[in-house]
Amino acid sequence: MTTNTNDELAQIFEGWSSTVGKPTLKDNARMTTRGVDVFYGEKQAIFGVDLDIGKNEVLAMIGPSGCGKSTFLRTLNRMNDTIDICRVKGDIHLDGDNIYDKKMDVVNLRARVGMVFQKPNPFPKSIYDNVAYGPRIHGLVTRKAELDEIVETALQKASIWNEVKDRLDQPATGLSGGQQQRLCIARTIAVSPEVILMDEPCSALDPIATARIEELIAELSENFTIAIVTHSMQQAARVSSRTAYFHLGRLVEVGATDKIFTAPEHRLTEDYITGRFG
């Protein structure tokens, strides 16, 4: 941080009330979050975030590292449940269902809100079994032919079918990094989720592989709602329709992507996208 001392930040966040821009959507919202706080033990990581994710939109979340964007993303399909000391407050709804409700089943939730991780993490199984994993555990198919069709469709949709169709029974760990990440996307869409969360999906990939994933995100947005966390502003600009800027656990500004990158309203957002820190 070059322009903001901690004192200045404290001033900015003192009596923090609202996010600049329009975090909420009138209709068309697939997921809504209201007043979300996240704590790791005693430490608060997310402060009162209100944010909606619309149907079939690509929402990018950007911000300096440690700003809580990944933490926030992980609350959306309750991946934070696997961390003992993590607590989440506030309301998060998926299609009107409160996902932190006691009645909400986390297994079911994660089948509806899929996730793609920073590092490609194919299971040590064959390519076919990786994609078939989700449908199998959820018992989504009744016949082998149906499963074959789903696997093929998912791989096609993840634009990797042509590369792997002749070696579906080979271990997925033998694929290149970019292929592995597309396989992980195929694995996620094979359970037909409503929302796909992507946590810096290209950070471990080379530029060519990154470009292919970015194309893929654009195609997927026709059918899925996508929230993507990225450390690359250019990537956010290329793939998303809306962008949310996070800073020190707060959602500072939300808006249409081109507006955020051309005419940000908040000073922090401006400082970030003009490269004064990050």
Q: Which stretch binds another protein (CB under 8 A): 50-58, 86-94, 106-114, 237-245?
A: 106-114
Non-local (6+) Cβ contacts of 116 within 8 A are: 181, 184, 185, 188, 196, 197, 198, 199, 201
Smallest gap, in angstroms, from Cβ of residue 66 to another protein? 19
Determine if 109 is a binding residue for another protein (CB under 8 A). Answer: yes
Binding mask 10-39 for another protein (x = CB under 8 A): ------------------------------
Determine if 275 is a binding residue for another protein (CB under 8 A). Answer: no
Residue pair 272/62 in contact (Cβ under 8 Å)? The answer is yes
Binding mask 136-175 for another protein (x = CB under 8 A): -xxxxxx---x--xx-xxx-xx------------------
Cα angle for residues 254, 108, 182 (degrees, 5° grid): 65
**Encoded tokens for 147:** 């499963």
DSSP one-letter code for 212: H
Non-local (6+) Cβ contacts of 254 within 8 A are: 19, 20, 21, 22, 23, 51, 242, 243, 244, 245, 260
Smallest gap, in angstroms, from Cβ of residue 110 to another protein? 4
Determine if 205 is a binding residue for another protein (CB under 8 A). Answer: no
Backbone angles phi, psi at 59, to 5 degrees: -105, 125
Q: Could you say which of 134, 178, 249, 264 contacts another protein (CB under 8 A)?
A: 134
DSSP symbols for 9-29: HHHHHTT----EE--S-SS-E
Closer to another protein by Cβ: residue 80 or 257 = 80
Contacts (CB under 8 A) with another protein, residues 213-242: 219, 222-223
Residues binding another protein (CB under 8 A)? 77, 79, 82, 84, 105-111, 114-117, 119, 121-125, 133-135, 137-142, 146, 149-150, 152-154, 156-157, 184, 187-192, 219, 222-223
